[in-house]
Chain A
């Protein structure tokens, strides 16, 4: 049963992926063949001759091309990569940006569209590197985090400054470090809800269940985490404690009577001896036993107890430490 389930699952994933990849490759998409190098550099055609001055949507219509090029049968492949399935050029969307070519008409086209004269494909000039280009004039606004000068609404229409805060494949591992001290920057695009999706310690449903559709995301608790949580918790315990309190471990361990002691737990010569285990991973002890003096080591490790005094020879304490009050009222 187990082996069959395994084989079926692998087959579904592999077959599904291959099917859609092949389907995509077989239905080749159309794109426009256009060289700025040939038109603007070699032929000397000015920018405004195709791109209407001040137009927000600067992609010329087909009629503009037909002013020079003949629309005749058999010549479609001159401009369309897949003439059997010709499509309109996709407009580059400036979603949520307060940008107008009209107000920037004094600026030379090449200042933003740097390599346009040497571009052999439209995609080479599709979008200027916005942050880099805009910052050459708008750095002061950038420094004062006055984003609204250029961005209408970053939360609803994030412009994704992915280079500076590279939201790349490993971003999930580094985002906490970046957020320390830069939370105002995060808040320009993300509401608190966004953090709370994963970080709320009061939530009961793990993120990987709530977002099962996000298969590519590096969610920490992905898949059957309960089985391997002890391996990861012992490898990097601080990572757990970034979100979870120690009490959360005990709530489950005590309820399910899981994670009990080894039979040779009291044998000093055993590698499982509790003293050795405690020194290696005291948090594992605290997960269940940090509920007052009667629940922990002090039951035995006390003067007159089986474990003797917990204090080393010559110990001098003023009992002012919070932990002392666990035993010394």
Chain B
């Protein structure tokens, strides 16, 4: 094969999302690789753990045809989620993980029968015996540091060369559905932190994303935490936008929690957000005035030795651009009886005010386990809107769930949910779910 042909093939492989994705053979190869890994395990100090789960969901929906609002149609989408993983596979500290789903719509008079699916995670990880260094290759979440969460097809390495110093770096392609990717849409970053994690930490991180030859995001972030063992927990982050010459604060959030004892805890938080900052800089909409907003909130929870526990929260929003306000406030008392909360009854009352509309939620819920293997839940929620939404000032949902543990790790569940909402999109939905989870150790 000539150099030109090789380059052409490589170019094809890393072509943009619009041009092509990974072909079927590559998808099968990725899946086969992760399934085959556990087979090659060899003897080692730590036992090999195999784990996984399968979840099959059949939904039964009675919906309205958008093209004919007077008629009812039925849909039966089926979902299959599969997770497979193994720790200490082959080599001690090596782990593999694969999770994906498939969706099949057999009966859909509106859009016709179709199949959909994706690989949600696939990665290969390695951790040293003392746990100080680790690396991961594949599709994974990057959520450390002040930057935003990012789902990447890439590589992450992390290490603690000294007990209190934490260093990490990542790089990879931003994830798109169906194992497709844009070769020009990639992100990378790094973080260094002084981390005495039981007392607190301070970390500096850098994150950068490129899209189509332009820098879409570039941030420097500071994350910090301070803990007084058992009773005080302060944590927060500040994210600076380095693409602006003045390096303004793109967003920040600080929360402090006071944990008096096992009966009472109280938390306060403050956040400054700029939604435009979350748009890629390649978007024309980033040139608009920043519509920043502030959020100040508090949460408290009380629980005693008795059956009652109560939590409540309140949050106030202030929008810089138009001086408008918003708030949310709620209280949630829960009564639990019996060994390991065998019976539980709760009430959830909330009031949410945006700067256009508001609603009040009144919700009752109950979880009952009359026998060890049987679980029933009841749930009712009522939403009352201040201003009518599409002509309706109210929507409500009632749900009933019945679950039974058939074998250890295996559970069958049936749900019925009745929804009456202004969109009138869905009235009655049923669901049958089969879950099977396993986890075994072998030497």
Interface, chain A (partner B; CB < 8 A): 2, 5-6, 8-10, 12-14, 16-17, 20-21, 23-25, 29, 90, 131-132, 135, 139, 142-146, 148, 153, 156, 163-164, 166, 168-170, 173-174, 176-185, 191-193, 195-196, 199-205, 209-210, 212-213, 215-216, 222-224, 226-228, 230-232, 234-238, 241-243, 246, 256, 278-283, 285-286, 289-290, 293, 296-298, 310, 321-323, 325-327
Contact = CB atoms under 8 A, between A and B. Distances in A.
Given A25-B337, A185-B197, A192 B378 contact: no
Contacts of A13: 364-366, 378-380, 398
Given A21-B345, A200-B151, A246 B317 contact: no
25 contacts: A5-B398, A8-B398, A12-B378, A17-B343, A17-B364, A21-B337, A21-B345, A143-B196, A164-B227, A166-B259, A168-B301, A177-B255, A180-B144, A180-B145, A181-B145, A192-B123, A203-B101, A212-B401, A213-B401, A215-B365, A215-B366, A242-B148, A279-B288, A280-B355, A322-B282
Contacts of B339: 29, 90
Contacts of A200: 120-121, 151
Nearest to A278: B288
A148 to B, nearest CB: 8
A183 B282 contact: no
Interface stretch (B4-12, B30-38, B229-237): B229-237
B377 interface: yes
A242 B275 CA distance: 10
A10 B278 contact: no
Interface residues of B, number: 153
Given A192-B123, A203-B118, 16 more contacts: A13-B364, A21-B343, A145-B197, A168-B265, A173-B313, A177-B269, A180-B146, A181-B203, A182-B225, A193-B85, A215-B346, A215-B399, A241-B275, A246-B279, A283-B276, A289-B285
Interface string B310-351: 010100010101101010100010110111001111100000
B246 interface: no
Contact of A202 (B120, B227, B287, B415): B120
Nearest to A242: B149
A131 B4 CA distance: 63
Contacts of B83: 193
B49 to A, nearest CB: 8
A182 B199 CA distance: 12
A192 B278 contact: no
Nearest to A296: B284
Contact of A216 (B274, B278, B344): B344
Q: Which 7 A-B pairs have the closest CB atoms?
A: A322-B214, A9-B398, A17-B345, A169-B311, A235-B354, A322-B282, A215-B365
A323 B275 contact: no
A236 B149 contact: no
A54 B21 CA distance: 63
Contact of A215 (B280, B367, B383, B418): B367
A290 B120 contact: no
A25 B198 CA distance: 42
A181 B223 contact: yes
A166 B381 CA distance: 28
Most chain B beta-carbon neighbours within 10 Å: one of A25, A145, A235: A235
A322 B281 contact: yes
Contacts, number: 348
B274 to A, nearest CB: 8
B267 interface: yes
Nearest to B299: A170
B97 A192 contact: yes
Given A24-B338, A174-B267, A282-B288, A169 B295 contact: no
Contact of A192 (B121, B342, B389): B121
A223 B326 contact: no
Contacts of A290: 279, 283-285
B284 A298 contact: yes
Interface string B347-374: 0000011111111000111111010000
A202 B177 contact: yes
Contacts of A228: 352, 359, 383, 385, 389, 395
Contacts of A223: 363, 381, 383, 397, 419
Contacts of B395: 224, 227-228
Nearest to B231: A163
A179 B143 contact: yes
